[in-house]
Structure 1
Amino acid sequence: MITTLTALALVASVPPPLDQICPIELMVLGTSQDGGSPQLSNRHDPAWSNAALRRYATSLAIINRETGERVLFEATPDLREQLYRLDNFEPREDRPGLEGIFLTHAHMGHYTGLMFLGHESIGADGVPVYAMERMGDYLRSNGPWDQLVRYGNIELRGLVDGQPVYIAGATVTPFLVPHRQEYSEVVGFRIDGGEKSAIFIPDIDSWEEWDEMGTRIEDMIASVDYAFLDATFFANGEIPGRDMSGFPHPFITHSMERFADLPDEEKAKIRFIHLNHTNPVRYPDSPEREQVLDAGFGVALFHEVYCLSR
């Protein structure tokens, strides 16, 4: 069950009637690469004048509609706006009203929203932040993040590769992926809600490097109902004047080639996410997006909601 709640990036969600509630839902709160769209100093981007084209940095949320529990994946620079949308969908009186925040790694678009939990902003009290060992050490040992820990704004909780965490009626399991590790490990997450499941891999160097680590992305896709996969760039050449062949992300064109022989039902599970501001797939009417959809794949949409448990 997939419900697109809005076609505009800046319109608040309206939850379904009570008799149509899905107990555990997965909501898309952002689909862009770390810098969002439009990006800083890119004054020609049409999203400056057309709010419908604006996109927040990539984030998902688990919502338990029966208990009101909410869990966030990534603390992006767009955290304020994303929590506003979440509050309109599943309101909470406490701030920020989160049972936990799960972080994939220490790149800008994935953790810097933690700053809004500090005393300069809402002065949160003990928000559980789930992170791998190096990621947790980075937050404890580097300012200004260590202040969040010392002031008790966040409570760091360790993650271990392959070990599940039970939270908000769902199960979240981290798994290591190959990607630039300047400050921390990099993980994806498997999210199980009872009946349905998803994987979330916003950043990875390449599917082939993961093969060498003993994990095939095709096997991961086969094991779940939805697969949110790194689609930062569409193809080499989309950044003028640069050879992008060594960029540490799988191009969408490469992913489509690799997945071309998958059965239609496997292709339909894929939701490309984490789109760079240069990626033409971010535009709803682009030929590149049409190419992706015609090939049987999907593109993650802001405010889209997936039912994980009936």
Structure 2
Amino acid sequence: MFNKIVFSLLLLSLASCDKKINNVEKSSKTKTVSQTSLVILGTAQDAGYPQIGCTKSCCVDKWDDVNPTQVTSIGVIEPKEKKTYLFEATPDIKFQIKKLSSYIDNNSIQLPNGIFLTHAHIGHYTGLMQLGREAINAKNIPVFTMPKMFQYLSSNGPWNQLVELGNIDLKTITNNTEVSISSHLKITPFIVPHRGEYTETVGYKIQGSNKTALFIPDIDKWEKWQISIEDEIKKVDYAFLDATFYKNGEIANRDMSEIPHPFVEESFKRFENMTIKDKSKIYFIHFNHTNPLLKNNSMAKNEVINLGFNIAKEGLIFDL
């Protein structure tokens, strides 16, 4: 009798455990979306977080993280057409494509219907290699590029092999010229000042049926741009803006004038007279591994929120 009771309890325990496992699996899946949406797929600077070789306090606790912060990328989902679009081809592209396609269907991985590149720094285009024959051997994935980027990818290995083998299909886009992806989704590139060793650099305006987003992950300084960033923010509903470094002196062993970006503290001052409504549109993104905005519950994070701004986070979804 005793053995029967023990056996029954064991079965109940196993059933309970199985139910918990199933619940975890279900809860870990991405929720599909029902309307055109923008999703944050990564927030780190080009080299990711933690950054290679870093044993300083900013990274030391991150090496054992099972979910390291991925390189900055956003995606657009059109669920009715079952189409997705990727902005940036980062070193984390295989994970980001999986995540992006899961918003349409949790049970499959769908390559994007188009990839929009900003420039030729490592975190923004090198993921294209995963589309080659050594990996998925993709077929004619449209890759939207500015003229110098088009020439760079067409003329230099290993990228030109992707073109020659038909893994990618380069599409030229031009400054301030709208690209109509569908009847309710339009993309406009615009040139911004940024180190152009190989190509120009652009940001994007992403216009849906109801809302519009600005995506500028890299720019040298706001004052170097001939266009008013404040005016551009007023025209959109969301603005995902370069926040590579929080403040000057963040990288002690380098002259930070060699790697110009708008420090977050500079953006605070620049945007201090904007309305609460316009400040709330701003989501800081593209964080270097030294940036305290990557740390949970940091004073820097609290400062951003208290001043009325936002911090981009992987998995955030925005209606378009």
TM-score, structure 1 normalization:
0.90
Question: Which residue pairs with 1:198 in the alignment?
Answer: 213
Distance 1:287 1:107, change over 3 A: same
Deviation at 1:251, TM superposition (A): 0.1
Question: Which residue pairs with 1:171 in the alignment?
Answer: 186
Distance 1:113 1:216, change over 3 A: same
Given that 1:56 and 1:78 are in contact with CA atoms closer than 8 Å, whether structure 2 keeps it comes out as yes
CA distance in 1, matches of 2:28, 2:123: 22
CA distance in 2, matches of 1:234, 1:245: 14
Distance 1:301 1:94, change over 3 A: closer
The root-mean-square deviation of aligned C-alpha atoms, in Å, is 1.7
Q: How does 1:150-169 map to 2 (within 5 A)?
A: 150-168=164-182, 169=184
- Report SS of the residue matched to 1:271: strand
Question: Which residue pairs with 1:258 in the alignment?
Answer: 270
Deviation at 1:240, TM superposition (A): 2.3
Structure 2 residues not aligned, in runs of 5+: 1-26
Which string of whole-angstrom CA distances, capped at 9 and with x for unpartnered residues, describes residues 155-185 of structure 1?
0000011111111541000001000111001
Query: Quick one: which of 60, 63, 69 aligns to 2:77?
Result: 63
CA distance in 1, matches of 2:96, 2:88: 11
- Report SS of the residue matched to 2:195: coil
CA distance in 1, matches of 2:242, 2:157: 29
CA distance in 1, matches of 2:44, 2:177: 28
- Report SS of the residue matched to 1:67: coil
Task: From the CA coordinates, give the structure whose radius of gyration is larger.
Answer: 2
TM-score, structure 2 normalization:
0.87
Given that 1:35 and 1:57 are in contact with CA atoms closer than 8 Å, whether structure 2 keeps it comes out as yes
Question: Which residue pairs with 1:4 in the alignment?
Answer: none
Percent identity at matched positions? 46
1:124 aligns with 2:131: no
Q: How does 1:50-199 map to 2 (within 5 A)?
A: 50-52=65-67, 54-91=68-105, 96-168=110-182, 169-199=184-214
Which string of whole-angstrom CA distances, capped at 9 and with x for unpartnered residues, describes residues 203-253 of structure 1?
00011010xx2x100011000000000000000122124442453100000
Higher deviation after alignment, 112-121 or 82-91: 82-91
Distance 1:185 1:13, change over 3 A: farther
- Report SS of the residue matched to 2:85: strand
Number of paired residues? 290
- Report SS of the residue matched to 1:284: coil
Question: Which residue pairs with 2:30 in the alignment?
Answer: 14
Deviation at 1:87, TM superposition (A): 2.8
Query: Quick one: which of 14, 34, 53 aligns to 1:41?
Result: 53
What is the one-letter code of the residue matched to 2:98?
A: Y
- Report SS of the residue matched to 1:128: strand
CA distance in 2, matches of 1:300, 1:56: 12
Question: Which residue pairs with 1:6 in the alignment?
Answer: none
What is the one-letter code of the residue matched to 1:14?
A: T
Which string of whole-angstrom CA distances, capped at 9 and with x for unpartnered residues, describes residues 68-105 of structure 1?
11000000000011112123222388865211000000
Given that 1:236 and 1:243 are in contact with CA atoms closer than 8 Å, whether structure 2 keeps it comes out as no
Given that 1:57 and 1:76 are in contact with CA atoms closer than 8 Å, whether structure 2 keeps it comes out as yes
Query: Quick one: which of 23, 35, 38 aligns to 1:23?
Result: 35
What is the one-letter code of the residue matched to 2:31?
A: P
Deviation at 1:12, TM superposition (A): 5.2
Query: Quick one: which of 274, 284, 295 aligns to 2:307?
Result: 295
Given that 2:84 and 2:101 are in contact with CA atoms closer than 8 Å, whether structure 1 keeps it comes out as no
CA distance in 2, matches of 1:190, 1:164: 9
CA distance in 2, matches of 1:92, 1:294: 37
CA distance in 2, matches of 1:165, 1:98: 16
Given that 1:239 and 1:278 are in contact with CA atoms closer than 8 Å, whether structure 2 keeps it comes out as yes
Structure 1 residues not aligned, in runs of 5+: 1-10
Comparing both structures, which one devotes a greater share of its residues to helix? 2
- Report SS of the residue matched to 1:47: coil
What is the one-letter code of the residue matched to 1:181?
A: G
CA distance in 1, matches of 2:28, 2:122: 25
